[in-house]
Structure 1
Amino acid sequence: METELCKAFPEFEVNPFPEEKDIVPGGKRKYIKPHSRNDPKLEALQTFLIDWINTTLKHEHIVVKSLKEDIYDGLVLHHLLEKLGSLTLEVEKIALTGKKQRLKLAIILQTVSQCLQLEESELKWDVDAIFNKDLLSTLHLLVAIAGHFQPELAVPPNVNVDVIDTECTSNGLKTADAVEYITKGRGPVEKCSKAEIFDELLTRAPEKMDAVKEVFLKFVNRHVGILGLNVKDIDSQFADGVILLLLIGQLQGCFLNLGHFFLNPGSLAEMVHNVNLAVDLLMDGGLLDVPINPEDLVNGDEKATLLVLYCLFSRYKTKGA
């Protein structure tokens, strides 16, 4: 099969699809063309999905670094479905052999099809493709799961790649060029995510950033001032999560149990714990509609910090004004 592929695409000196397994007789596969693998939109989608999975499963201590390498055995999908759909799957928690992993994956994918109410002809993935680390099939699967269980999630729109449709026929390899759409475009009535709106501000009016920070400072101090606090430096005073948690409590009118966070964090781990809790509260309250890495706030990332404050400001800017 490798020889046939090379003959079909002589412009490549090596197999253009080194990560793919051979196609069985009568089988079909879509391969992402090499130049599309480095497409910024495709890379952004992969980063988004990785952040989304890690945010969703952080309490399970699961960390995904590569969609190709970390999804195929069913472990992450198992935890993801249990978390998002409150499902109990009759499969082994950890399958050690390839045979058991494949069996587990088959049960998981069958459950996905049932939840999404998809016929076999509608599926853009199968057990073979996922188990063989087919990136295109894996992306289709994760996008479908995200769209079903969290339809409000701001998945990057308009992601498509150039592919080669390949079919192994009795007469040899049959190929055709095509464009594969992984995520849909955003319709005119759909809302942009807060992150997109804020990115637009950073891109179009970076000179206004100091003015934006000043507005956020006044907003924050109007609410935490009641607690005797005063924020002067946005870039540093939110890194430990304390003021952020107290601000959320004030804005949402709720009391945060002091036993649930560290009022005087003395280590990086305690700071991360605080920010994790804050991000959870924002996600649960529908204020934050994109995954965010809590460690970015702890490390003083300006964009992440301002995005969190923007989410709070856009919801509560008239509160107490």
Structure 2
Amino acid sequence: MEADIFDYHKEEDYLCVESFQGERRKLIQPTSLKDPTLGKLKEVLVDWINRTLKQEHIVVQSLEEDLYDGLVLHHLLSRLAGVHLAVEEITLTSSAQIQKLELILGELDKKLGLQDSSLIKWNVKLIHNKDLLATIHLLVAMVKSFQPELDLPPNVKVEVVIVEVSSSGIKSDVQIEVLTDDRDTASDSSSNPEREDPIEQLLNLEAHKVNTVKKAILHFVNQNMVTMGLHVADMDKQFADGVILLLLIGQLEGFFIPLFDFNLTPVNESEMLHNVTLALDLLNDTGLTLPSIDPQDIVSQDTAATLKILYALFKKHKGK
């Protein structure tokens, strides 16, 4: 077993063995690193971070390389939990990065409600050392706490080597580590997104049932637009240029969108795309989770795409 471990590690890992003497360290087996389910989980987490931090113009490409200094985690903490810490935006030295991570992870652990330290599978040292296992555990916990409606790939497990260094030598063991819940994948939306998407389900029903739901959503829309003297009769066509969609979002969310930010009377597709893209960005800023929607679909009067946006707004605001 020890031979396998030494075959796996990079050379620099052995130069600092004494630095974690007495600790138990987990390392993902190389075979698990190639598992497509792990790859999918990483892809979903990267996409989630990038959508969440789009307005900050932060783009993450690698969970291993882009989260260790605290910059991304700080922005996620601010965006998702409304916690703004007085820390440096850019930290270049290891000591400054570690100090920043201590503050950020301290606040994150509080917001995640993890009082029992045995339940915390990450720490400052692991995150700063670009430990993939700890980083994924942290991000999955954040998704479950702050955005539980986000579908994560289910039943993701990896094989890990647990290494313990002591004065008497190195001990190791192999275990299975669970990253996401073991659920019924046959009915899970991440294994078959259309099966759980209520709009996709709706569109597979009889035409009269589709029309009934569309009428209910249109009634909700018009109830909220009546004070502006607007009425929607054709869901596909009237939302295609993004104008009514922007006005509806402002009305529901209680904020004013400056007229110079969008085209009130768009005359071409480019201006329509600008409006719809702005609308989707605003919805993302409000924390409303939407399925992947291309602004071009709305402009092209795609019924499913338009319904998905309006249904999400309806679901969030119908009881208010």
Indicate whether the TM-score tops 0.5: yes
Contact 2:156/2:178 (8 A) holds in 1: yes
Question: Hey, what does 1:149 align to over in structure 2?
Answer: 146
Displacement of 1:99 in angstroms is: 1.8
Displacement of 1:171 in angstroms is: 2.9
Contact 2:71/2:89 (8 A) holds in 1: yes
Q: Hey, what's the Cα distance between the residues in 2 that align with 1:17 and 1:305?
A: 52
Question: Hey, what does 2:102 align to over in structure 1?
Answer: 106
Mean Cα deviation higher: 62-71 or 144-153: 144-153
Question: Hey, what does 1:29 align to over in structure 2?
Answer: 25
Match of 2:280, SS state, is helix
In structure 2, stretches of 5+ residues that fail to align are: 223-229
Letter of the structure 1 residue corresponding to residue 63 of structure 2:
L
Contact 1:44/1:156 (8 A) holds in 2: yes
Contact 1:31/1:165 (8 A) holds in 2: yes
- Please give the root-mean-square deviation of Cα atoms over the aligned residues, in Å: 4.7
The counterpart of 1:16, out of the listed 8, 33, 53, is 8
Taking the TM superposition and a 5 Å limit, the aligned residue runs for 1:226-237 are none
Letter of the structure 2 residue corresponding to residue 181 of structure 1:
V
Question: Hey, what does 2:225 align to over in structure 1?
Answer: none
In structure 1, stretches of 5+ residues that fail to align are: none
Q: Hey, what's the Cα distance between the residues in 2 that align with 1:107 and 1:168?
A: 29
Letter of the structure 2 residue corresponding to residue 149 of structure 1:
F
Match of 2:294, SS state, is helix
Letter of the structure 2 residue corresponding to residue 98 of structure 1:
S
Q: Hey, what's the Cα distance between the residues in 2 that align with 1:231 and 1:147?
A: 34
Letter of the structure 2 residue corresponding to residue 277 of structure 1:
A
Displacement of 1:64 in angstroms is: 1.3
Question: Hey, what does 2:181 align to over in structure 1?
Answer: 184
TM-score (norm 2): 0.69
For 1:233-269, what per-residue CA distance to the aligned partner results, in whole angstroms no more than 9, with x for missing partners? 9xxx95x74575478689x699975714334286869
1:118 equivalent to 2:120? Answer: no
Letter of the structure 1 residue corresponding to residue 171 of structure 2:
K
1:45 equivalent to 2:46? Answer: no
For 1:84-131, what per-residue CA distance to the aligned partner results, in whole angstroms no more than 9, with x for missing partners? 222132322221222211211122112222332333332201112111
Question: Hey, what does 1:271 align to over in structure 2?
Answer: 273
TM-score (norm 1): 0.69
Contact 1:198/1:307 (8 A) holds in 2: no
The counterpart of 1:72, out of the listed 54, 68, 88, is 68
Displacement of 1:138 in angstroms is: 0.2
Question: Hey, what does 2:307 align to over in structure 1?
Answer: 309
Q: Hey, what's the Cα distance between the residues in 2 that align with 1:255 and 1:91?
A: 29
Q: Hey, what's the Cα distance between the residues in 1 that align with 2:242 and 2:10?
A: 45
